[in-house]
Structure 1
Amino acid sequence: MEIFALEGQSFLDLAIQGGALESIFEIDPNISITDNPVIGEKYTIAIYTLPIANYYQRHIIEPATALSENDLSIIIPDDGIGAMIIENTFIIR
């Protein structure tokens, strides 16, 4: 099965569309599975579980699990002990 990489997808997002994460090892021997796929590039994904692969195709499910800039902007930064304020961040008893 051939899949075009979309923005925010990882190789795991592509592999799961073949029905099992094991297909990540058969995408391309020259890539690292920790790298991000090139957006718009076509990758061949092995189909491991046909019912699951068909479900993804039939319902047009294209997972993209990367955090967007909007996601990152709503996460409260943890500035550590330097940002803590006595009686505000924690209470002394």
Structure 2
Amino acid sequence: MESKVYQGQNLSDKAVEMTGSIENIFALAIENNVSITESLAIGTTLNYSGKAIKSISALFNDNNRCSTAITAQNHELIVADEGIGAMIIENTFIIG
């Protein structure tokens, strides 16, 4: 099976999309000679010859792709860390 990389996808996304399981990320990385943390170029074709979980991989198609990259546009939607770990003594953490 072969699949093209689209915008916002990394190797873990492709592992789930192509095989139906994140556990196959290592087999996918070895077969395509890439690191599991490597950024994939858009349009790169990945191959996988192992067994896939069809009930999960069949959920993905041209209109529904697995993509987990954070873009500048949706980065603003992430709630800032608001806890004692984010406080600065005598600035935002005032004892008094």
Give the structure-2-normalised TM-score: 0.69
Give the number of equivalent residue pairs: 88
Give the CA RMSD over aligned residues: 2.8
Residue identity opposite 1:27 in structure 2: L
After TM superposition, the runs of 4+ consecutive aligned structure 1 residues lying more than 6 A away are none
Corresponding residue of 1:35: 38
Query: Matched residues in 2 for 1:16 and 1:10: separation?
Result: 10
Of residues 24-33 and 12-21 in structure 1, the stretch that sits farther from structure 2 once superposed is 24-33
Mapping of residues 54-73 of structure 1, within 5 Å: 54-57=58-61, 60-73=63-76
TM-fit CA distance, 1:56: 1.9
Greater Rg over alpha carbons, structure: 1
TM-fit CA distance, 1:23: 2.3
Query: Matched residues in 2 for 1:26 and 1:3: separation?
Result: 15
Unaligned runs of 5+ in 1: none
Matched position secondary structure for 1:43: strand
Give yes or no for contact 1:23–1:47 (8 Å, CA) kept in 2: no
Unaligned runs of 5+ in 2: none
